[in-house]
Amino acid sequence: MSSELNQLLKPLRDKIDALDHEILDLLNQRAQTAIEVGKVKHRYDADDAVLKPEREAQVIRALQKDNLYGTFPNSSVEAVWTEIISACRGLERGLTIAYLGPNGSFSEQAAYEFYGHAVQLLECPSFDEVFRAVEAGQADVGMVPVENSTEGAVNRTQDLLLSTTLKIHGERTLAIRHNLMTKSGEMKGVERVLAHPQSLAQCHQWLSVNYPNLPREPAASNSDAARIAAEDPSVAAIAGMHAAAAWELSVVAENIQDDANNKTRFLAIGHVVNQPSGDDQTSLIVAVPNKVGALHDLLTPFSTHGVSMCRFESRPARTGQWEYYFYIDILGHQDDENIRLALRDLESQSSFLKLLGSYPRQSDPTSVI
């Protein structure tokens, strides 16, 4: 039976081997072309334009469109070509990404999913340091969380977006799966649970039911909690599977988040200014005078010019006068005619307007970590 099976499988395996060699040859041709692109850029002093998020999005969308009836899943098309583009980009010039560390954090995973693995990572101890590293040129780009479907906005990121000169050039939404982990894989001897404050909040109900008497303490990040748990058997950490592997921890309980659909949205930030990709989103911050009808006036330009809002959130201005900043996401690129007109009208009615950037929309925000 095994001999007959091998006879049937051999030509199929030979065909796969031949196809793999064809794919490898084409990948090498693509890589060589990427090197030629780099040489052309160098001749025109455009070496800093190695990252073109709108172009990368267009490439992947075109392939997914051509693959409408293909056997290979479109989600895999995006994952594979993200890595191909990353590898070819790296042949032009390396890309350094700042993120909230240490190794194993959700920010690290988001960075890899967005930029691919052919990059250098710079661990930062705080969101402030992520922004500072990119602003100072220690890193080319950064990856930071901005909102969670359960706990809402990441306040520190929003505060930093208000003052930074950096622009948003991309987004990545991840389905977050929290896991309880220890060095031994058991809870015997555990005296406290560590995690980032937002993660503790996202697992509040589960912890209250299963370990109501264990103290919960905040950590700088979930991966930092995992690092501490790897050194201290009295600590249990809440983190993703990536952190468990990075710090050689054993999982006590999986998927302990209270909301099964728990997701976090991350922003890619840097000095890149995107051109239109054909399916974009624009983020901005607005403040309006404290007067009757101010909020109505704020929204009117969007309605007048047919601009669709997909996010609207307020945050205190910290002036002590009950003033607010409004964080708004709209569909389209800031160079689109209707958005350009809406922003013109909005600027005339607002006391503060800051464009955070236009960037390609994530087509299928369902990645799980």
| Residues designated catalytic | 264, 266
**Residue in 51, 52, 49, 57 with CA at minimum distance from that of residue 277:** 57
Q: Sign of the CA dihedral 244, 245, 249, 254? A: positive
Angle, alpha carbons 34-35-41 (nearest 5°) = 90
Q: Sign of the CA dihedral 151, 154, 159, 163? A: negative
Q: Let me know: does 56 contact 118? Beta carbons within 8 Å.
A: no
What is the token pair recorded at 48?
């800093």
**Residue in 173, 160, 152, 155 with CA at minimum distance from that of residue 134:** 160
Give the C-alpha separation, 336 to 330, whole Å: 12
